[in-house]
């Protein structure tokens, strides 16, 4: 092939670098032009990517950032769900399917807990003498024992704690429901790969679990003829199948008065535990179950590590509708991670559940309110947070009311409460003033004390509170920026 002559090299070294080489053939020229065009395309993509990254960084810098803090099971995740429902309802709706599996696992976990309590009671006390004839399992009555006035009903007095209550009928029910234990662990491992605790409904922060579960739901809906076409989508159906299969036995277990007496005797208050759905078995244990907003609020999913949530406001208009909310695990061994977020947030929502009669699960020697106050003192005194709005949620007001109505006295758990009235307004005021005092005393600079009484599973009331919180955060941030 004839070579193409090359003109004289110019004096400009950059122009010389771009000139074709001497004696370049036509084939070499075509290849060189193609390589130059590809290099130019890659360069444009890099420039566009850098520009887009710069825009995202700037947008994130201007976004509102909120940190949710509080001990484990204080209501952080439920507050986050309320925030999403109030301001990003379409996103909340898209994730509804993902919560179905969590709710089903919460229900199975409650049943497993009852089975364990029954087994413990059986091991320590033994069975009652079977009523003759031994009552069989009755789906109509939902009870496994005879009338409470029968010869084997528990006796009042000091011997009640040692009185055998359970019969062989309960043993048979225990055996029928025992497969749930292994099924639960297998289901958790399939739906949430590599969970931090296979025996707990839990996820690691940053795993984007909702998108994963929602994808399984779409696979199920798109392939109704072959629902077990993939192991993952089949796993999601497995939870529904388990509950439908064991539904009547679960209802019988929960409706049995003897079981409730055993739970009370063993100090197990299932109703106060997160993720309680035993009152809704008939509604949830069906093939076409779809979680309600209230179901999602009640669902319990343990977060291990830090989870970042990005919201774009849908229901309100503002200059920059981007919000980043950080849900940090509340377990005591995770609190060292909190400080790394302190210098980049405009507000902290601190949840302090008024469960005065409960202790920490990870350290049963520490009262929950005592622990909340210790955390609160550390946050208020932190100099990194001197320009940060700290908003206190006195949470679980519904649980507080139930505890007081049951006859529990605050002074039996909090000695300093003394003989003050044992009612909701008085108890709430006492703890509110405790938090207010430390807020004023320990803050590096004077700042406003923001507080709300909440029951975050109440979506309507909490939604109204969050609208006010949002406005307060924005105004506080602007005032500290000398804008207003």
Residue 162 and residue 94: Cα distance in Å, rounded? 51
Residue 414 and residue 134: Cα distance in Å, rounded? 47
Question: What's residue 440's pLDDT?
Answer: 94
Instruction: Check whether 223 has a pLDDT greater than 60.
Output: no
Phi-psi map region of 439: left, alpha, beta (phi>0 left; psi -120 to 50 alpha): alpha
Binding residues for Mg(2+): 303
Strand partners, 202: 302
Of the pLDDT bands very low, low, confident and very high (cuts 50, 70, 90), residue 141 is very low
More confident residue, 442 or 65: 442
Q: Across residues 140-165, what is the average pLDDT?
A: 45
Residue where the block lists tokens 């024992």 = 145
| No. of helices (H) and no. of strands (E), the chain | 16, 8
Residue of 382, 391, 416, 395 lying closest to 458 (CA atoms): 395
Residue 134 and residue 116: Cα distance in Å, rounded? 23
Question: What's residue 93's pLDDT?
Answer: 85
Instruction: Check whether 340 has a pLDDT greater than 50.
Output: yes
Question: What's residue 300's pLDDT?
Answer: 85
Contact present, 312 and 116 (Cβ < 8 Å): no
Instruction: Check whether 359 has a pLDDT greater than 60.
Output: yes
Percent of the chain with pLDDT over 90: 24
Strand partners, 322: 312
In this structure, which long-range contacts are made by residues 189-196, counting pairs with CB atoms below 8 Å and at least 24 apart in sequence?
190/231, 190/232, 190/235, 190/238, 191/101, 191/105, 191/216, 191/232, 191/235, 191/236, 191/239, 196/302, 196/304
Instruction: Check whether 150 has a pLDDT greater than 60.
Output: no
Question: What's residue 11's pLDDT?
Answer: 65
Of the pLDDT bands very low, low, confident and very high (cuts 50, 70, 90), residue 374 is very high
Q: Across residues 279-284, what is the average pLDDT?
A: 94
Q: What is the three-class DSSP state of 206?
A: coil
Q: Which two tokens stand for residue 51?
A: 């520009």
For strand 64-69 and strand 347-353, is the pairing parallel, antiparallel, or unpaired? parallel
Binding residues: 303, 395-398
Strand partners, 351: 393
Contact present, 297 and 323 (Cβ < 8 Å): no
For strand 306-312 and strand 322-328, is the pairing parallel, antiparallel, or unpaired? antiparallel
Instruction: Check whether 306 has a pLDDT greater than 90.
Output: no
Q: Across residues 435-460, what is the average pLDDT?
A: 89
Instruction: Check whether 224 has a pLDDT greater than 50.
Output: no
Contact present, 174 and 115 (Cβ < 8 Å): yes
Please, which residues have CB within 8 angstroms of residue 25's CB and are 6 or more apart in sequence?
A: 1, 2, 3, 4
Residue 412 and residue 423: Cα distance in Å, rounded? 14
Instruction: Check whether 293 has a pLDDT greater than 70.
Output: yes
Question: What's residue 209's pLDDT?
Answer: 62
Q: Across residues 113-127, what is the average pLDDT?
A: 80
Alpha helices in 126-223 (DSSP H): 168-177, 179-191, 209-222
Q: Which two tokens stand for residue 273?
A: 């535990």
More confident residue, 420 or 481: 420
Instruction: Check whether 376 has a pLDDT greater than 90.
Output: yes
Q: Across residues 192-214, what is the average pLDDT?
A: 60
User: Residue 140 class from Cβ within 10 Å (0-12 exposed, 13-18 middle, 19+ buried)?
Assistant: exposed
Contact present, 298 and 201 (Cβ < 8 Å): no
Question: What's residue 32's pLDDT?
Answer: 85
Instruction: Check whether 39 has a pLDDT greater than 50.
Output: yes
Contact present, 379 and 385 (Cβ < 8 Å): yes
Instruction: Check whether 391 has a pLDDT greater than 80.
Output: yes
Instruction: Check whether 235 has a pLDDT greater than 70.
Output: no
Nearest-10 Cα torsion for 378, 381, 384, 388: 100
pTM for the whole thing? 0.72
> Among 4-8, 10-14, 271-275, 459-463, whose mean pLDDT is lowest?
4-8
Q: Which two tokens stand for residue 94?
A: 């898209």
Residue of 462, 453, 399 lying closest to 429 (CA atoms): 453
Of the pLDDT bands very low, low, confident and very high (cuts 50, 70, 90), residue 393 is very high
Residue where the block lists tokens 């029968």 = 150
More confident residue, 81 or 305: 81
CATH domain 63-88+313-480 topology: Rossmann fold (3.40.50)
Of the pLDDT bands very low, low, confident and very high (cuts 50, 70, 90), residue 217 is low
Domain definitions of the chain by residue range:
63-88+313-480, 98-298
Of the pLDDT bands very low, low, confident and very high (cuts 50, 70, 90), residue 231 is very low
What count of Cα atoms within 13 Å lies in the side-chain half-sphere of residue 161? 4
Residue 85 and residue 328: Cα distance in Å, rounded? 20
Binding residues for GTP: 395-398
Residue 176 and residue 282: Cα distance in Å, rounded? 18
Q: What is the mean pLDDT of the chain?
A: 78
More confident residue, 162 or 474: 474
Of the pLDDT bands very low, low, confident and very high (cuts 50, 70, 90), residue 148 is very low
Q: Across residues 137-162, what is the average pLDDT?
A: 41
Of the pLDDT bands very low, low, confident and very high (cuts 50, 70, 90), residue 197 is low
* Omega before residue 133 within 30° of 0, cis: yes
CA angle 456, 459, 460 (to 5 degrees): 125
Residue 370 and residue 376: Cα distance in Å, rounded? 10
């Amino acid at each position: 092939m004839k070579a193409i002559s090359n003109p004289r090299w110019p004096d400009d070294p950059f122009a010389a670098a771009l000139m074709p080489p001497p004696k370049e053939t036509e084939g070499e020229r075509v290849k060189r032009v193609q390589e130059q065009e590809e290099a130019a395309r890659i360069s444009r993509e890099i420039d566009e990517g850098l520009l887009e990254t710069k825009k995202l960084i700037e947008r994130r810098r201007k976004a509102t950032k909120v940190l949710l803090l509080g001990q484990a099971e204080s209501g952080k995740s439920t507050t986050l769900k309320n925030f999403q429902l109030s301001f990003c309802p379409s996103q909340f709706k898209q994730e509804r399917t993902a919560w179905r599996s969590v709710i089903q696992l919460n229900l199975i976990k409650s049943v497993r807990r009852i089975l364990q309590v029954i087994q413990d009671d059986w091991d320590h006390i033994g069975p009652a003498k079977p009523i003759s004839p031994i009552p069989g399992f009755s789906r109509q009555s939902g009870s496994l024992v005879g009338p409470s006035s029968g010869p084997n009903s528990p006796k009042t007095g000091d011997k009640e704690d040692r009185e055998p209550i359970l019969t062989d009928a309960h043993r048979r029910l225990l055996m029928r429901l025992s497969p749930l234990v292994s099924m639960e662990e297998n289901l958790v491992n399939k739906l949430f790969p590599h969970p931090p605790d296979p025996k707990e409904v839990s996820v690691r922060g940053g795993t984007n679990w909702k998108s994963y579960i929602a994808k399984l739901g779409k696979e199920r809906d798109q392939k109704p003829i072959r629902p077990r076409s993939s192991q993952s989508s089949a796993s999601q159906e497995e939870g529904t199948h388990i509950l439908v299969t064991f539904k009547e036995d679960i209802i019988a277990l929960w409706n049995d008065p003897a079981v409730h007496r055993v739970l009370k005797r063993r100090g197990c208050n299932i109703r106060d535990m997160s993720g309680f759905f035993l009152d809704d078995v008939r509604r949830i244990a069906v093939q076409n179950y779809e979680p309600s907003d209230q179901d999602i609020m009640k669902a319990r999913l343990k977060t291990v590590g830090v989870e970042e949530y990005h919201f774009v406001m849908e229901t309100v208009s503002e200059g920059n509708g981007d919000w980043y909310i950080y849900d940090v695990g509340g377990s005591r061994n995770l609190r060292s991670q909190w400080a790394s977020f302190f210098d980049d947030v405009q507000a902290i929502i601190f949840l302090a559940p008024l469960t005065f009669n409960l202790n920490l699960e990870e350290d049963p020697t520490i009262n929950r309110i005592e622990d909340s106050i210790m955390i609160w003192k550390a946050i208020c005194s932190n100099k990194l947070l001197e320009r940060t709005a700290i908003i206190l949620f006195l949470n679980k007001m519904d649980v507080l009311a139930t505890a007081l109505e049951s006859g529990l006295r605050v002074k039996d758990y909090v000695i300093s409460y003394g003989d003050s009235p044992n009612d909701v307004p008085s108890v709430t005021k006492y703890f509110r003033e405790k938090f207010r005092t430390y807020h004023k005393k320990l803050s590096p600079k004077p700042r406003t004390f923001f507080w709300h009484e909440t029951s975050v599973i109440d979506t309507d009331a909490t939604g109204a509170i969050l609208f006010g919180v949002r406005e307060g955060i924005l105004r506080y941030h602007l005032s500290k920026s000398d804008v207003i």
